[in-house]
């Protein structure tokens, strides 16, 4: 029987910190490497306006993203990696190969696939504690510039980008009124002493258009059931995220994809693994580790074969 022919040995889905680490590791081991990415190389790094906890002298995420893009470009030029643009839809593992179906109908095959698609933004419609007018749209807090915050500003949710945004804009004096459901209390704790933040504990918030004027009316039920009505000039989204899982992956009740529960030819790396490890350095470590596990199992002469 002929050996199966694949488009590539290792197919990496997603070029955030986890996917790039996987690709760099695979290329350095002389494995044929392909990276599929739907957007710019760097993933969520593009949102980190102030970066402190990553090895190296990076002070912002975009600086590191640029370095990762240069790394992939260098590998492409050396013929050790191919970067393909596209949106992955579904992955599947088979006895002799792993497959990835793209939303445009293309299908890529590999001996082994690393899925590192991270997480995607939650919208107000995803949050049980919010009801909103159909025309309501909340721009993301992480993208807001201080100049845009004119008038009373409300923030939906106390997710971690709040702390990042405040650190990135130390001179801003605007008060952010942060609607904080019980599940976000522990995340908002890091900013509770910042006098530019007013945490508003909520059990429910309704957002409607005011009868007169611009902005939004925000009706808040606090955690004791007391109702208060606020007038907001702007409302920003800081609700957090949900796993960007592909079709065909095994996921838990929370939507994350436990690495050990997938087909033996499919590994999960980075933020998609669990809400617990969402940091650049752990994402990079897991990307490299996924490829090393494959290498020692299979590609290395004498390896035990993909288990």
Ligand X SMILES: Cc1cc2nc3c(=O)[nH]c(=O)nc-3n(C[C@H](O)[C@H](O)[C@H](O)COP(=O)(O)OP(=O)(O)OC[C@H]3O[C@@H](n4cnc5c(N)ncnc54)[C@H](O)[C@@H]3O)c2cc1C
Select the span of 115-123, 144-152, 174-182, 190-198 touching ligand X (CB under 6 A).
115-123
166 near ligand X, judged by CB under 6 A: no
Q: Looking at beta carbons only, is 165 or 216 nearer to ligand X?
A: 165
Select the span of 39-47, 66-74, 127-135, 170-178 touching ligand X (CB under 6 A).
39-47
Cα separation, 27 vs 35, in Å, equals 11
Q: 196 is written with which tokens?
A: 């530019």
Cα dist. 250→93, 193, 266 in Å? 11, 41, 10
Residues 185-214 interacting with ligand X (rule: CB under 6 A): none
Q: Which residue has the tokens 């002799």?
A: 96
> What pairs with residue 113 in β-bridges?
11, 266
Select the span of 12-20, 69-77, 173-181, 206-214 touching ligand X (CB under 6 A).
12-20
Q: Looking at beta carbons only, is 15 or 220 nearer to ligand X?
A: 15
44 near ligand X, judged by CB under 6 A: yes
> Could you tell me the smallest distance in angstroms from the CB atom of residue 280 to ligand X?
4
Cα separation, 142 vs 161, in Å, equals 6
x/- binding map, residues 231-250, to ligand X, per CB under 6 A? -------------x------
Bridge pairing between strands 197-201 and 8-13 = unpaired
Query: Which of 24, 283, 290, 291 is the binder for ligand X (CB under 6 A)?
Result: 283
36 near ligand X, judged by CB under 6 A: yes
x/- binding map, residues 61-90, to ligand X, per CB under 6 A? --------------------------xx--
Q: 71 is written with which tokens?
A: 């790394």
What residue ranges bind ligand X (CB under 6 A)?
Answer: 13-19, 36-39, 43-45, 47-48, 51, 53-54, 87-88, 116-119, 142, 161, 164, 244, 270-271, 278-281, 283
């Amino acid at each position: 029987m002929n050996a199966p022919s694949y488009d590539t040995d290792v197919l990496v889905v997603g070029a955030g910190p986890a996917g790039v680490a996987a690709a760099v590791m695979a290329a350095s081991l002389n494995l044929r490497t392909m990276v599929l990415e739907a957007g710019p190389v760097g993933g969520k790094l593009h949102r980190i306006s102030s970066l402190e906890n990553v090895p190296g002298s990076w002070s912002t995420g975009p600086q590191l993203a640029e370095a990762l893009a240069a790394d992939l470009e260098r590998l492409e030029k050396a013929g050790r990696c191919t970067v393909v643009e596209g949106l992955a839809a579904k992955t599947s593992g088979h006895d002799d190969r792993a497959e990835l179906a793209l939303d445009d109908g293309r299908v890529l095959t590999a001996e082994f696939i690393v899925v590192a698609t991270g997480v995607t933004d939650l919208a107000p419609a995803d949050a049980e504690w919010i009801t909103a007018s159909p025309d309501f749209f909340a721009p993301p807090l992480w993208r807001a510039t201080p100049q845009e915050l004119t008038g009373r500003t409300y923030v939906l949710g106390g997710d971690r980008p709040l702390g990042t945004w405040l650190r990135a804009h130390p001179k801003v004096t605007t008060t952010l009124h942060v609607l904080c459901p019980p599940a976000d209390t522990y995340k908002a704790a890091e900013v509770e002493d910042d006098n530019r933040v007013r945490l508003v504990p909520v059990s429910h918030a309704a957002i409607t258009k005011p009868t007169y004027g611009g902005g939004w009316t925000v009706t808040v039920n606090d955690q004791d059931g007391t109702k208060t009505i606020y007038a907001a000039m702007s409302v920003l989204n800081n609700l957090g995220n949900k796993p960007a899982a592909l079709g065909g992956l095994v996921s838990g009740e929370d939507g994350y994809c436990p690495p050990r529960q997938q087909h033996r030819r499919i590994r999960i790396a980075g933020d998609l693994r669990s809400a617990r490890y969402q940091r650049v350095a752990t994402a990079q470590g897991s990307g490299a580790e996924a490829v090393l596990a494959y290498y020692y199992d299979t590609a290395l002469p004498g390896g035990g074969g993909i288990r």
